[in-house]
Amino acid sequence: MVGTSVHQNIFLPQPKDNNRRRGAIDIGSREQECISLLKRCKNMEELKQSHCLTLKLGLVLSPFCTGNLISTCALSDWGSMDYACLIFNQLDSPNSFEFNTMIRGHIKDMNLEEAITFYDLMLQTGIKPNNFTYPSLLKGCAYLHRLKEGMQFHGHVFKIGVQDDVFVQNSLISMYGKCGELKNSYSVFEQMADVDKSLASWSALIAAHASKEMWSECLGLFKELTSQKCWRAEESVCVSVLSSCTNLGALDLGRSTHGFLIKNLSGLNVIMETSLLDMYLKCGSLTKGLSIFERMKVKNQWSYSVVISGLAFHGCGREALRVFSEMLEQEFEPDEVVYVGVLTACSHAGLVHEGLQLFEKMKDEHQIKPTIHHYGCLVDLLSKAGKVREAFELVKSMPMEANDVLWYSLLGACRVHQDVELGELVAEKLLQLNPQSTSAYVMLSNMYAKAQRWEHVGLTRGEMAQKGLTKTPGFSFIQVKRKVYQFVSNDLTWPQSEGIPDMVQQMEWQLKFEGYYPDTSEVLFDVDEEEKRERLSRHSQKLAIAFGLIHTSQDSPIRIVRSMRMCKDCHTYTKMISAIYRRRITVRDRNRFHHFEDGLALVKIIGAV
């Protein structure tokens, strides 16, 4: 009987507690109602009404409701961390979700100190941090470049035992990268299991190298990434790769990336299109860049800024001003960055009157307070027009102190126009700001050399030697078969130099028949003419051209990026080589693009794709 009784108690229908069930349903529906209202909130006034309803319905003790209330208040663009703190302070026993939300909210507001305060409170309360806690904290350290705190959190990650979590590892890679500690980024990446290395992991590592302008390494990592199973087209990775191509002048790699994006993405947003536009313009393909700009369905202020700066870099000043006028017609408000591009365009095209007018328009019509960058553009504009003394007076009248970049620009103008007296004064100002400026000594020495004041050259170089300063030799990049090669002036020691001396000799032999004679005034050393000609022949740009002629097919264009401004001899040399070997040659130096074809130096080449 006992067995039968138990059996019956288990399987017979149990009496229903209808009141209890009805109450549970009511509470659940009320919670859902509150959450639904929270999702529809668009401002703090509506959120406060939702909060009142939560209190009225007695749901203030519901972790589900209070957690969502704090989350909406802390993480929404229109939210208030002050109000979120008021709600949080009313909680008797906040859980890890609520602590993590408060930390995320403060990080969103770039308030790392308050986020750390909540983290400390979390530990004091006995709530164990988890894999959602540290990514937010590390993100804050990354944005604010707080390496010390980031390393401390890394130590806590091991203490808590979440060091193998993928999200935490990716955050560590990003944090170390943005704080400039690439070695630690690599260390975290290498410690990850291969199966855990996601696209986000690779993206963080590539972005870390991009932040340090290690463009060749970025492309190497991208090549390795594309062989991984996790690889797919992803915006942040592709933007970093395009930036690398842009800075290295690697047009072929940039075009390959463009083709990959078209093949793997259903459409390109304005960020990707503008990155492509920037890449083509800065890699010398002006026509292709402008065609992308014309086809863009959506344009923003950044798009116009990029195309204006790109046109300026190609010496197309009037075209840049036309695009600027179009930008104003489309009712995009120009900012200080756009005006830097416009003034640079005037400088490169020699449009002095237009540049001065635009400077006044920037101040009066658009109420933009000129920065030192705008004054720098004006100084460059006047200097290139030979108005060096006027540029110096402008510098003296500026409302802010001139920086070393501006003094260096003015010193360069003094060298070009051989105003030795003013150059000495400018060099003195520059060395007061930066006593270790190698550039100041080199420019002053070059100016003395051009004036054949060899005694002053010796004194200047002796002072450099006393301070332990050495001149960094110029270098040039050239891309051949999707690989970037670097050449340094007067350096023939690298493995790929085989054949280059012979090619340089052949080029100079051909040039003699065309009437070329080396401009030895560019060699600023007191040596004989033969040594001067030898030094000229080993400029990095000429070595790169020789390599390009050897390793590229006939009639294919040659594109070079160089670290320093092109000298007059290299300009003449390259112009004549373009005719002799029937090559289109594009050179991007520190200031602008130079296009050469059929023995001519052109402002732009239509169809240069």
* SS3 of residue 609 by DSSP: coil
How crowded is residue 454: how many other Cβ atoms within 10 Å of its Cβ?
Answer: 12
Instruction: Using the predicted structure, report yes or no on whether residue 14 has a pLDDT greater than 60.
Output: no
Residue type, 346: C
What is the per-residue pLDDT for 521? 61
How crowded is residue 327: how many other Cβ atoms within 10 Å of its Cβ?
Answer: 21
**Alpha carbon distance 255, 265 (integer Å):** 15
- Whether the full predicted model's pTM is greater than 0.75, yes or no, is no
**Alpha carbon distance 466, 468 (integer Å):** 5
Burial of 190 (0-12, 13-18, 19+ CB in 10 A): exposed
pLDDT average, residue stretch 540-546: 91
Contact (Cβ atoms closer than 8 angstroms) between residue 440 and residue 431: yes
Q: Which two tokens stand for residue 349?
A: 């095209």
The Cβ-side half-sphere exposure at 425, using a 13 Å CA radius, reads: 12
What is the per-residue pLDDT for 519? 73
pLDDT in tens, 345-396: 999 888 999 999 999 999 999 999 999 999 999 999 998 888 999 999 999 9
Instruction: Using the predicted structure, report yes or no on whether residue 258 has a pLDDT greater than 80.
Output: yes
Which is more confident, 249 or 326? 326
CA distances from 500 to 248, 485, 487, 582, 589 (A): 22, 13, 11, 19, 22
What is the per-residue pLDDT for 433? 86
Instruction: Using the predicted structure, report yes or no on whether residue 112 has a pLDDT greater than 60.
Output: yes
The mean pLDDT value of the chain amounts to 84
pLDDT above 70: percentage of residues in the chain: 89
What is the per-residue pLDDT for 497? 66
What is the per-residue pLDDT for 15? 40
Contact (Cβ atoms closer than 8 angstroms) between residue 315 and residue 348: yes
The Cβ-side half-sphere exposure at 168, using a 13 Å CA radius, reads: 21
pLDDT above 90: percentage of residues in the chain: 41
* SS3 of residue 487 by DSSP: strand
Instruction: Using the predicted structure, report yes or no on whether residue 546 has a pLDDT greater than 70.
Output: yes
- Categorize the per-residue pLDDT at 61 as very low, low, confident or very high, splitting at 50, 70 and 90: low
What is the per-residue pLDDT for 234? 73
Contact (Cβ atoms closer than 8 angstroms) between residue 539 and residue 563: no
- Per mean pLDDT, which range of 84-93, 368-377, 424-433, 599-608 is the poorest? 599-608
Residue type, 187: S
What is the per-residue pLDDT for 603? 54
Cβ-proximal residues to 282 (8 Å cutoff; 6+ apart), any chain: 246, 247, 249, 310, 313, 588
**Alpha carbon distance 176, 172 (integer Å):** 6
- Per mean pLDDT, which range of 31-35, 255-259, 290-294, 363-367 is the poorest? 31-35
> Which regions of 128-250 does DSSP assign to beta strands (E)?
none
What is the per-residue pLDDT for 606? 34
Q: Which two tokens stand for residue 560?
A: 């070079």
CA angle, residues 520, 602, 593, in degrees to nearest 5: 75
* SS3 of residue 477 by DSSP: strand
Q: What is the CA radius of gyration of the chain?
A: 32
Strand partners of residue 231 = none
CA angle, residues 474, 476, 480, in degrees to nearest 5: 165
pLDDT in tens, 480-524: 887 888 888 877 676 556 788 889 889 999 998 888 887 766 555
What is the per-residue pLDDT for 532? 65
pLDDT average, residue stretch 58-69: 75
Burial of 193 (0-12, 13-18, 19+ CB in 10 A): exposed
How crowded is residue 359: how many other Cβ atoms within 10 Å of its Cβ?
Answer: 21
pLDDT average, residue stretch 217-223: 86
pLDDT in tens, 457-486: 888 888 888 888 777 777 898 988 878 888
Helix (H) or strand (E) holding 478: strand 475-480
